[in-house]
């Protein structure tokens, strides 16, 4: 009798152990009604930008008036030029950058050293406060050339609605720009109608 029990135990016990230790298989989840599973596209994520691409911001282009001296530094002339900036507020900086790059006319000259930077332009009660980097002191000009340079800065700002201008160097008021013309107080931006066009 004992041998019969041992035989039964030897046959059924391993089967019970194997059944209890079987590998668990995760059942597939049925898709919701109307939902299809595309195996080829699984794992491909569509970004919000791809669904709704944004248009790149358009830059603003405007015609401005720039002022340059003749080669003999006798008088200033005005010329029109197109400038481009990301916003309306930055057009004024674009105008000064174009001015500092110099004229495209053989009979005109730039009075600004190439490495000068316009640091800031601000406004207070109709007066423009424009700060240049210290390199503006490197302009090699006499009293007449310095006067023309100061006039150009004022006239450039006049077209943006300013009545007066205070020139700063690295944010500070200086007695003179190059040793000849006083800039320690705001001065009138000038009358552009008195300046000839370069082609006239």
Domain with 160, as residue range(s), is 66-193
Phi, psi of 15 (to 5 degrees): -65, -40
Residue 35 within any structural domain of the chain: no
Burial 77-116 (b: 16+ CB within 10 A, else e): bbbebebebeeeebbbebbbebbbeebeeeebbbbbeeeb
pLDDT band, residue 199 (cuts 50/70/90): confident
Domain annotation covers residue 178:
yes
Domain count, the chain: 1
Q: What are phi and psi of 38, to 5 degrees?
A: -105, 105
Query: 30: pLDDT confidence band, cut at 50, 70 and 90?
Result: low
Q: Is the dihedral of CA 46, 48, 53, 57 positive or negative?
A: negative
> Quick check: 32 pLDDT over 70?
no
182 domain residue, yes or no: yes
157 contacts 128 by C-beta, under 8 angstroms: yes
Q: Is 60 exceeded by the pLDDT of residue 100?
A: yes
Contact 103, 110 (CB under 8 A): yes
Lowest mean pLDDT among 46-60, 87-101, 184-198: 46-60
Higher pLDDT, 52 or 118: 118
- Tell me what pLDDT residue 58 has: 85
Residue 9: inside a domain: no
Name 108's Cβ contacts closer than 8 Å, sequence gap at least 6.
68, 69, 70, 71, 77, 79, 198
Q: Is residue 187 part of a domain?
A: yes
Task: Report yes or no: 98 and 66 within 8 Å, Cβ to Cβ.
Answer: yes
Percent of the chain with pLDDT over 70: 71
| pLDDT digit string, tens, across residues 18-27 | 444 444 445 5
Please give the model's pTM, rounded to 2 decimal places.
Answer: 0.71
In a domain, 101, yes or no: yes
The average pLDDT across 125-153 equals 96
Mean pLDDT of the chain: 82
H or E segment to which residue 121 belongs? strand 118-124
Q: What is the pLDDT of residue 2?
A: 44
- Going by their DSSP bridges, the two strands 108-109 and 60-70 should be labelled as antiparallel
27 located within any domain: no
First to last CA, the chain: 131
pLDDT at 91 over 90: yes
Residue 137 lies in a domain: yes
């Amino acid at each position: 009798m004992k041998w019969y029990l041992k035989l039964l135990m030897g046959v059924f016990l391993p089967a019970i152990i194997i059944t209890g230790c079987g590998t668990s298989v995760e059942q597939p989840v049925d898709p919701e009604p109307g939902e299809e599973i595309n195996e080829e596209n699984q794992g491909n994520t569509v970004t919000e930008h791809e669904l709704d691409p944004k248009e790149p911001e358009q830059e603003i282009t405007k015609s401005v008036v720039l002022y340059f001296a003749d080669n003999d530094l006798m008088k200033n002339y005005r010329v029109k030029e197109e400038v481009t900036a990301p916003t309306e507020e930055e057009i004024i900086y674009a105008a000064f950058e174009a001015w500092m790059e110099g004229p495209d006319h053989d009979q005109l000259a730039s009075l600004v050293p190439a490495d000068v930077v316009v640091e800031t332009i601000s406004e207070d009660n109709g007066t423009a406060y424009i700060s240049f980097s210290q390199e503006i002191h490197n302009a090699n000009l006499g009293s007449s050339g310095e006067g023309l340079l100061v006039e150009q800065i004022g006239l450039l700002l006049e077209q943006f609605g300013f009545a007066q201008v205070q020139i700063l160097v690295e944010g500070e008021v200086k007695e003179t720009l190059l040793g000849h013309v006083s800039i320690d107080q705001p001065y009138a931006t000038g009358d552009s109608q008195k300046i000839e066009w370069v082609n006239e």
